[in-house]
Structure 1
């Protein structure tokens, strides 16, 4: 069995989707399946410094980068498309990442032409909020390109139970539920927070609330600003860390939310954090917050929970299982609900700690990349053998 992953980008600037793709490809390859990844060198304002048009061997898989033209996350890569046209017949199945991407739409057409089955992972781009954002553009593109291509796919991977229901409501068939995961070894033991304190000394000695995600309209920073202002008025020892890249030029507007809420002085915008610095930020934090309007299935939430943090997430984060397991506060998408949950955790530190402990065990038991890879391999085998898709419960 030979699998080809295709993604418009895997640069860290683009947030969780990039990490999901690379972690999943590696996990599948480490289970003995031949898997390749083709992508572009796009990475926001600065291209990835990588060799182009040649295979680079990573642990358990190969990756090849192609030159491209892009603006924000709109990416066109003629050389990748040309390569795909010549090489797609070498693979048993293609697994595409994200939708509303011209390059991916063309890839689907090539697969159809050569009768190569393909699987689609939307990464939350078919969620109601995502479809309504810039709706007039998406409505046309969806009708002409996206809907027919997805209908023709052999399987559609939903990464949360809510996303599964939303995709099914769009009248698509052949959906499977395979959630994202984490590498357990990256959180055992927890990192030393000192690396984070040294780089951002204003956070030392504070009770830190961590937002870890892209600076983007859908992430709910307009809700977090007034919510944090309420928290800060009651708990002046708190400090908010907004950690994440700004790949669409939204930073000024995001910072203005906190300026208007009169709490900007108690907020640190770190920019992109990755590797040791990201794990140090998770270790330094006391609480994690995700005030999103829309998500697929957030890796950073899993990382927050795996770090043992009390987590406040909205219903749009598509993780009702966390609420059922009493492993996170899952709240409505509004300022008061977010503020009240943060205040409850700060007012009851022992209960918050116990919830964080439950979260850590819950993630380790249920949401790892090994589990996700094993399920996807079962899906691939079913597609290739033209058998019914397996039914997973998460």
Structure 2
């Protein structure tokens, strides 16, 4: 098959780029062709393409793209000239131009949409007026026209049904996966601590996500303030690029004199990310809304005990395996989870072991990639 993924394929976008990378790596091994079409703006750092895949970056068209996500005349031109070359067009996410344009150009390709959690109640309420306009103009229509809608879990199934008012027959649950081997041998402990002058007897709390309100930073920051009073040797590292909440974060740190206990270290990639995971005592993501958090899977595969909300995209699995401290979406809840894990080493180790078991039994990318390929084949038109 000839497959085209459409996604903002950058380090900043996080999980979806990683998902495409891992899935593509497996699909290429089976002899399929995979291309990636990515809108971008100057300064974006493109995620690497797997060897054998082609990456086509196209410029976003400003100022329209500032209001209508990913709008790109170059993308339209690319698809107008090349869409007939593909058997499958896989669109990642909704509400943006990339999920619309394949329906505007006549073609026989199978059209697949992965929701990526964007119909969650919190996500829909964010910039609701824009989404109301997009819904009125086309969003429900194209979901109905898609040959396949990929969702990751039963929560997302309920979100789609609530949004459309019915269960589309073309919707399937296929979770995202992880290339587990990449996290089987982490760097030696101590590198991250040495770079950031953290002593061995200090505790590292790791948040690894974009600095966006939806990631629960408004809960984590006051929660850590509580924790720091009881555990003055704990340090919170915020590893992610600014996505609208960095100024509020810096203001909180300054007002509460936490400059020595909360560190912004920016986006961590490749070896730097693995060094942070190797040295972390706990990973925390009290998110309001996630499609399927690859960052949480990376932490769990690295055997780091985690504190997460049940909105990270696989809360049902976490509950079944008791694989993380599931925090309520309150500062007190997050603080309680941090204190429990940091003060009870046996509990933390048990959590980490159960989480690793959950990941290896359910989210190996080799199995997940084959599931999605089979779904492509079922709806293929020729």
Per the normalisation by structure 1, the TM-score is 0.89
Deviation at 1:384, TM superposition (A): 0.7
Q: Distance in 1 between matches of 2:250 and 2:30?
A: 44
Give the CA RMSD over aligned residues: 2.2
Distance in 2 (CA, whole Å) between partners of 1:263 and 1:48 is 31
Matching residue of 1:46: 43
Q: 1:126 corresponds to which residue?
A: 119
> What is the alpha-carbon distance in structure 2 between the residues aligned to residue 27 and residue 200 of structure 1?
36
Q: Is the 8 A contact 1:221 1:257 kept in 2?
A: no
Q: Please, which of 209, 220, 223 is the counterpart of residue 224 of structure 1?
A: 220
Partners of 2:117 and 2:25 in 1: CA distance: 22
Deviations 1:10-55 (A, max 9, x none): 110222222222222222222332222222343xx614479xxxxx
Segments of structure 1 that go 5 or more residues without pairing to the other structure are 51-55, 387-394
Distance (Å, rounded) in 1 between the aligned partners of 2:361 and 2:256 = 40
- On the 8 A contact 2:187/2:278 being kept in 1, the answer is yes
| Mapped contact 1:184–1:364 kept (Cα < 8 A) | yes
Q: Which residue of 2 aligns with 1:244?
A: 240
Q: Is the 8 A contact 1:226 1:261 kept in 2?
A: no
**Contact 1:226 1:258 survives alignment (8 Å):** no
- The counterpart of 1:369, out of the listed 354, 365, 369, is 365
Give the CA deviation at 1:191.
2.1
What is the CA–CA distance in structure 2 between the aligned matches of 1:69 and 1:145, rounded to whole Å? 20
Structure 2: distance between partners of 1:189 and 1:57: 22
Instruction: State the Cα distance separating 1:385 from its structure 2 match.
Output: 5.5
TM-score in terms of structure 2 length: 0.91
Q: Once structures 1 and 2 are overlaid, which stretch shifts more, 343-352 or 169-178?
A: 169-178
Query: Counterparts of 2:199 and 2:80 in 1: how far apart (Å)?
Result: 51
Give distance in 1, aligned partners of 2:261 and 2:46. Answer: 35
Contact 2:3 2:88 in 1 (8 A): yes
1:107-256 matched pairs, under 5 angstroms: 107-110=102-105, 113-170=106-163, 171-173=166-168, 174-202=170-198, 205-246=201-242, 248-256=243-251
1:208 is paired with a residue of what secondary structure? Answer: strand
- Is 1:6 aligned to residue 6 of structure 2? yes
How many equivalent pairs are there?
375
* 2:112–2:149 Cα contact (<8 Å) kept: yes
Structure 1 pair 264/160, CA: closer, same or farther in 2 (3 Å)? farther
Quote how far apart the aligned CAs of 1:326 are: 1.4
Cα pair distance change 1:342/1:41, threshold 3 Å: same
Note if 1:99 corresponds to 2:91: no
Secondary structure of the equivalent of 1:181? coil
Partner residue, 2:327: 331
Match of 2:277 in 1: 282
Deviates more, 1:312-321 or 1:207-216: 312-321
Consecutive unaligned residues in structure 2, runs of 5 or more = none
1:102–1:189 Cα change, 3 Å: same
Displacement, 1:292?
0.7
